[in-house]
């Protein structure tokens, strides 16, 4: 092979050619092929290297250095172009594979509290406004709290009207779902010194069959006041004030003699309806001395009254429902109206 004389301008031409072709390369793959062509064994640059042998040692060194610089310059051009091309390719791959996770939705309608919860909250507001505190007790009770401490021994016929669902724990008929909120009276008096002014809303259970006015699981609210010199007049005034705050000033109340083992005297309290008839709301009375004694309170020193009524029945009256079972059917067409 004969060496042609080395032309230094050819290096500049090689670099310009490399720049033009690199700029024209449209993707990383073709740029890779171009790299082989420009820098590989068969490249023009490599061909020129062979001409080095025919040069004088001084010139050879200078030209060799120029060749290396040209090679580095080509490598830099290729690397820069490769960075550009791979960024473009990555961007278009991302765009092509992008998942649109957005979803157009109708306006979200906010729900609201169930009628029972609304009624319970309002009851709490009214009584808290009258100076009462809110107390709570467990839904699963023992015979002591549900019956005995309330002056209902196991032979007492009143146990029949408070019949409930018993839980198979410990002795027979010892643990049960509470049939009224009155056990919270006992728990409060056991734990708190008088004077006491509490209300206790909560779920209660009875072995009642569901009908238009009964549910086997319903809600009551209990009230208990223990202080000095409390009379039936205080009870009557408290109930009247509550009913007027809850139902409106036109509604009248009346007490009717009744019987509960845990109050003496006892009464049912009714409210007047627009048509002039009376509707029973709940039971009440002066706390029985035996109940006070069962809780370690001296009946000579302290007196008090208690009341208890059904929140579900109250909602039925206030919202003029035909059937108490609507409250638990969970039909949104019904619930959405309130
Ligand atoms: C009681 O439960 C007594 N603990 C109330 C009481 C408390 C009296 C404090 C004296 C002093 P009674 O069984 O009458 O009493 O129930 C009270 C109210 O609960 C009823 O007037 C009614 O509104 C509601 N109620 C009773 N059973 C049901 C039922 N199965 N479904 C819906 N509401 C009921």
Whether 306 contacts 222, CB under 8 Å? yes
Query: What is the distance in A from the centroid of ligand 1 to the CA of 207?
Result: 13
Cβ neighbours for 294, distance < 8 A, ≥ 6 positions apart: 148, 149, 151, 186
Q: Which residue is listed with tokens 């062979």?
A: 50
Measure the CA–CA gap between 287 and 334, rounded to whole angstroms: 40
Beta strands in the chain (DSSP E): 133-134, 140-142, 166-167, 175-177, 196-205, 217-227, 253-260, 263-272, 278-287, 303-310
Other C-beta atoms lying within 10 Å of the C-beta of residue 251: 16
Q: Which residue is listed with tokens 């171009």?
A: 34
Angle in degrees, 0-180, between the axes of helices 57-97 and 28-39, rounded to the nearest 10? 170
Arithmetic mean of pLDDT over the chain: 91
Q: Examine the pLDDT at 1 and tell me if it is beyond 50.
A: no
Query: What is the distance in A from the centroid of ligand 1 to the CA of 194?
Result: 25
Query: What is the distance in A from the centroid of ligand 1 to the CA of 101?
Result: 54
Q: What is the mean pLDDT of residues 44-49?
A: 85
Q: Which two tokens stand for residue 218?
A: 């319903």
Q: Which two tokens stand for residue 35?
A: 């790299």
Q: What is the mean pLDDT of residues 281-298?
A: 97
pLDDT band per the 50, 70, 90 thresholds, residue 2:
very low
Measure the CA–CA gap between 102 and 48, rounded to whole angstroms: 60
Where in the chain are the domains? 9-97, 115-335
Q: Residue 277: its pLDDT value, please?
A: 87
Share of the chain above pLDDT 90, in %: 66
Given CATH 3.30.930.10, say whether it is the number of domain 115-335.
Answer: yes
Q: Examine the pLDDT at 260 and tell me if it is beyond 90.
A: yes
Report the range of poorest mean pLDDT among 101-110, 187-196, 248-257. 101-110
164-184 in b/e burial notation, b at 16+ Cβ within 10 A?
Answer: beeeeeeeeeebbbbbbbbbb
Give 246 or 238, the one with higher predicted confidence. 238
Q: Residue 5: its pLDDT value, please?
A: 61
Q: Examine the pLDDT at 206 and tell me if it is beyond 80.
A: yes
Q: What digits encode the pLDDT tens for the residues 89-123?
A: 999 999 899 888 888 888 888 889 999 999 999 99
Q: Examine the pLDDT at 273 and tell me if it is beyond 60.
A: yes
Q: What is the mean pLDDT of residues 67-71?
A: 91
Which among 149, 182, 220, 265 is the best mutation to test ligand 1's pocket, defined by most ligand atoms within 8 Å of the CB?
220
Query: What is the distance in A from the centroid of ligand 1 to the CA of 220?
Result: 7
Q: Residue 132: its pLDDT value, please?
A: 97
Query: What is the distance in A from the centroid of ligand 1 to the CA of 310?
Result: 6
Whether 164 contacts 145, CB under 8 Å? no
Report the range of poorest mean pLDDT among 24-33, 42-51, 182-191, 249-258. 42-51
Q: Residue 50: its pLDDT value, please?
A: 80
Q: Which residue is listed with tokens 């002056």?
A: 151
Whether 182 contacts 306, CB under 8 Å? yes
- Which pTM value belongs to this model? 0.71
Q: Residue 210: its pLDDT value, please?
A: 96
**Ligand 1 atom showing the smallest separation from residue 180 Cα:** 2
Which residue has its alpha carbon closest to ligand 1 atom 31? 214
Q: What is the mean pLDDT of residues 72-82?
A: 93
Ligand 1, residues at Cβ distance < 6 Å? 161, 180, 182, 206, 208, 214-215, 218, 220, 222, 260, 263, 280, 282-285, 306-310, 312-313
DSSP class of residue 151 equals T
């Amino acid at each position: 092979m004969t060496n042609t004389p080395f032309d230094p301008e050819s290096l500049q031409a090689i670099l310009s050619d490399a720049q033009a072709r690199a700029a024209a390369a449209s993707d990383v793959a073709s740029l890779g092929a171009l790299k082989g062509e420009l820098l590989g064994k068969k490249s023009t640059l490599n061909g020129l290297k062979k001409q080095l042998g025919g040069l004088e040692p001084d010139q050879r060194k200078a030209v060799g250095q120029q060749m290396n610089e040209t090679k580095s310059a080509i490598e830099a051009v290729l690397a820069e172009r490769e960075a550009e091309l791979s960024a473009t390719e990555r961007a278009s791959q991302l765009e092509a594979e992008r998942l649109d996770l957005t979803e157009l939705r109708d306006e979200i309608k906010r729900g609201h509290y169930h009628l029972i919860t609304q009624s319970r909250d309002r009851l709490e507001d009214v009584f808290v406004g009258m100076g009462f505190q809110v107390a709570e007790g467990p839904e699963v009770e023992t015979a002591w709290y549900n019956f005995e401490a309330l002056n209902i021994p196991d032979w007492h016929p009143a146990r029949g009207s408070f019949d409930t669902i018993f839980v198979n724990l410990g002795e027979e008929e010892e643990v049960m779902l509470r049939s009224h909120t009155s056990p919270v009276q006992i728990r409060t008096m056991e734990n708190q010194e008088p004077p006491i002014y509490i209300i206790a809303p909560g779920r209660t259970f009875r072995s009642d069959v569901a009908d238009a006015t009964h549910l086997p699981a319903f809600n009551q609210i209990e009230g208990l006041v223990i202080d000095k010199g409390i009379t039936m007049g205080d009870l009557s005034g408290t109930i009247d004030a509550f009913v007027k705050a809850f139902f409106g000033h036109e509604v009248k109340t009346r007490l009717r003699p009744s019987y509960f083992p845990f109050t003496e005297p006892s009464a049912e309290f009714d409210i007047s309806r627009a048509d002039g008839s009376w509707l029973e709301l709940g039971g009440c009375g002066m706390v029985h001395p035996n109940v006070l004694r069962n809780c370690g309170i001296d009946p000579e020193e302290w007196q008090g009254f208690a009341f208890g009524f059904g929140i579900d029945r109250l909602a039925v009256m206030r919202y003029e429902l035909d059937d108490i079972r609507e409250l638990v059917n969970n039909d949104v067409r019904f619930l959405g109206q309130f």
